[in-house]
Structure 1
Amino acid sequence: MSTTAQAAQHAEEDRMTEATEAAPARADCVADSAGGLTFHIAGWTRPAPGSYDDWRGALVLVRRGAADSPDGEVRLPLGPTADGRLQAALPSTVALPEGRWDIHVAYGEEEPQRLAPGLNDLRSLVDRRPGPSTSPLSVRIPYATKHGNLSLRSWRRAPHAEAGEIRLEDDTMAVRGRLYRVEYPADWLAGAVVEARCRRRAVPVRTAPLEADGPDFSFTLSYSELARSWDGDRADVWDLWLRPADEAMAPARLARILDDVADKKEIFTYPPRTVAGPHGEVQAQPYYTRGNDLAVRIGPPA
């Protein structure tokens, strides 16, 4: 190779390196109603794969805290699209374990690089109503991290109890929801109860009856019942479950995941109520956890 050609090649390599460092590749995400995602990659600075069989380029999903486990990494092939971008598909049939996944692009043997978020089309996730099935419900919501990277929150549940409207009274919370991923929802809900489980101790477990109409359910939970167990020290957190009458059936964690909001804790907020406890007045407040599960906090003002 001539000196001029070598210089041109080195200049091009330097340009690609500078472009990668200055502006990382980004991904636009499109969700479908079944729970699948398609990633459209822009800003790719490496030679584009010629087809999905060309594994020089791949989308790499790494689960936080589980990178070295057998199910801690998922690689998806990148392929070209008509508009010159690259695309990778994550169908709902791919069993993605629950957790937070950091999203990278990889080229050849190079170290994978984090992707920046682009535009998300998550309209199909808003008020999503999955069809009848007993297979695990797959939910994936892409989001931008506080450091400006693209990540993905994944849930995989069967059965699943989706929380809906929550109405607060002075001493109670009334919740409506719908049960998914059981063969006969009405039979599953017959005789079922809502169960509040305290994280700090195994007992007592507080229960309240359910009212059911097909797959839909509702219940009213007393804050005072939960406050009876407070010891006057740090706060108790009560996780809410639906427990069927048939002990052979798995219970369902009450959560809100069928929409486009990856982290509900700071968005869906509910005012606290003051109730009487054995050690004086105490505050009761429902909230969504970092996993978007529904819980109730009983304790001193937060």
Structure 2
Amino acid sequence: MSEAGEAAPTRADCVADSAGGLTFHITDWVRPQPGSYDDWNGALVLILRGAEGRDGGEVRLPLGPTGDGRLQAALPSTVALPEGRWDVHMAYGDAEPRRLVPGLNDLRSLVDRRPGPSTSPLSVRIPYATKHGNLSLRSWRRAPHAEAGEILLEDGAMAVRGRLHRVQHPAEWLAGAVLEARCRRDTARVRTVPVTADGADFFCTLPFAELTEDWGGGADLWDLRLRPADAEEPPARLARILDDVPDKKEIFTYPSMELTAPHGQARVRPYYTRDNDLAIRVEAPV
């Protein structure tokens, strides 16, 4: 028991696999009643933040004992987990689900992950500790997906290399494709540049002058996606999710560039959003 008289927090270790699945191991939980596991009815409960009580806002995973005395639950990549942040709980019997705290994470299989060919949605789940010290998951589920790789800033432009995932014929999908930048404040403002492809790998260069030519001051945020030549095919959001970093906004940072625009000096900087999507911010210099 803790000094406050409450039970100590229960920790869950997480192990990721290269397919996008997670296995949870609980080692420090004390069963409320003694006895065998014949009447066991525990579960790992994932609750989508902001969707409590709504259909699809809760996923329950069987939580059972293993031979070494631990409790284990599996979240396979085949279980559809909608995009968002999922808080991780443990439930036993009729008791209210209780938040878990992070233990040890083995996320080596997520580093430089290269998913195999498939047309099913790409599943990405990354466990992390919240600011309150609880265990949560960041989940993505995308098809198609354009994974951003190397980003170079020079000569007033941004050059991006990446790889397309979850389309049946990536070379055909990329033939004639463009990088589309769409202004979040005024979605009618759209800029496109051609994409060069080699199989599923792509390369494109976006001159920042394209985004500042009609900038009128204030802050413009531009979302980036690959749009295929075939209008019936869905676009692919440009993002970086195939690694073990759940929140890249404050970790993967890029320098800004200043350009002379018709309205005045503009500062342009690429950045990752809270969803790890690649975007560009245009604003006045400080």
TM-score range relative to shorter protein? over 0.9
Q: What is the SS of the residue equivalent to 2:172?
A: helix
Which letter maps to 1:298? V
TM-score by length of 1: 0.91
Number of residue-to-residue matches in the alignment: 285
1:21 partner SS: coil
- The answer as to 2:286 corresponding to 1:299 is no
Q: Is the 8 A contact 1:50 1:80 kept in 2?
A: no
Alignment of 1:249 with 2:233, yes or no, is: yes
Q: Give 2:222's aligned amino acid.
A: W
User: Which residue number in structure 2 is paired with residue 228 of structure 1?
Assistant: 213
Q: 1:151 aligns with which of 136, 147, 154?
A: 136
Question: Which one of the candidate residues 226, 249, 253 is aligned to 1:269?
Answer: 253
Structure 1: how far apart are the matches of 2:98 and 2:281? 40
Cα distance in structure 1, aligned partners of 2:42 and 2:5: 15
**Which of the two has greater helix per residue?**
1
Q: 1:188 to 1:23 in 2, by over 3 A?
A: same
1:130 corresponds to which of 115, 120, 143: 115
CA distance, structure 1, for counterparts of residue 44 and residue 285 of structure 2: 45
The amino acid that maps onto 1:206 is R
How far apart in 2 are the matches of 1:88 and 1:301?
Answer: 50
Contact 2:40/2:64, CA 8 A, preserved across alignment: no
Q: CA separation of 1:82/1:145 partners in 2, compared to 1, >3 Å: closer, same or farther?
A: same
Let me know the Cα RMSD of the aligned residues. 1.8
- Answer yes or no: is the 8 Å Cα contact 1:20–1:45 preserved in 2: no
User: Do 1:23 and 1:43's aligned partners in 2 also have CA atoms closer than 8 Å?
Assistant: no
With over 3 angstroms needed to count, the CA separation of the structure-2 counterparts of 1:50 and 1:269, relative to structure 1, is farther
Report the CA distance shift for 1:184/1:49 in structure 2 as closer, same or farther (over 3 A): farther
Within the candidate set 266, 282, 285, 1:282 is matched to 266
2:161 corresponds to: 176
TM-superposed deviation, 1:83: 2.0
Shift of 1:45: 2.3
Q: CA deviation at 1:23?
A: 2.0
Between the aligned partners of 1:54 and 1:190, the Cα distance in structure 2 is: 58
CA distance in structure 1 between the partners assigned to 2:212 and 2:166 by the alignment = 33
Are 1:258 and 2:242 counterparts? yes
Matched, 1:117 2:112: no
- Please give the secondary structure, in 1, of the residue aligned with 2:6: helix
Q: Is the aligned partner of 1:200 residue 2:180?
A: no
1:103 paired with 2:88, answer yes
Partner of 1:3: none
How far apart are the structure 1 equivalents of 2:234 and 2:176?
14
Amino acid in the other structure paired with 1:161: A
Larger Rg: 1
**Alignment partners' CA distance in 1, 2:220 and 2:140:** 25
Q: Deviations over 1:63-108 (max 9, x none)?
A: 0011122110000111112221100000000000000000001111
User: Is this contact kept in 2: 1:55–1:77, CA < 8 A?
Assistant: no
Q: Would you say the 8 A contact 1:104–1:115 is kept in 2?
A: yes
Residue ranges of structure 1 left out of the alignment (5+ in a row): 1-14
Aligned partner of 2:69 in structure 1 is 84
Q: Where do 5+ consecutive residues of structure 2 fail to align?
A: none
The match for 2:50 is 65
Contact 1:210–1:219 under 8 Å retained in 2: yes
Percent of residue pairs bearing the same amino acid type: 73
Instruction: Give me the whole-angstrom Cα distance separating, in 1, the residues matched to 2:79 and 2:39.
Output: 20
Q: Please give the alpha-carbon distance, in whole angstroms, between the structure 1 residues aligned to 2:35 and 2:104.
A: 23
- How far is 1:170 from its partner? 3.4
CA apart distance, 1:19: 9.6
Matched, 1:27 2:7: no
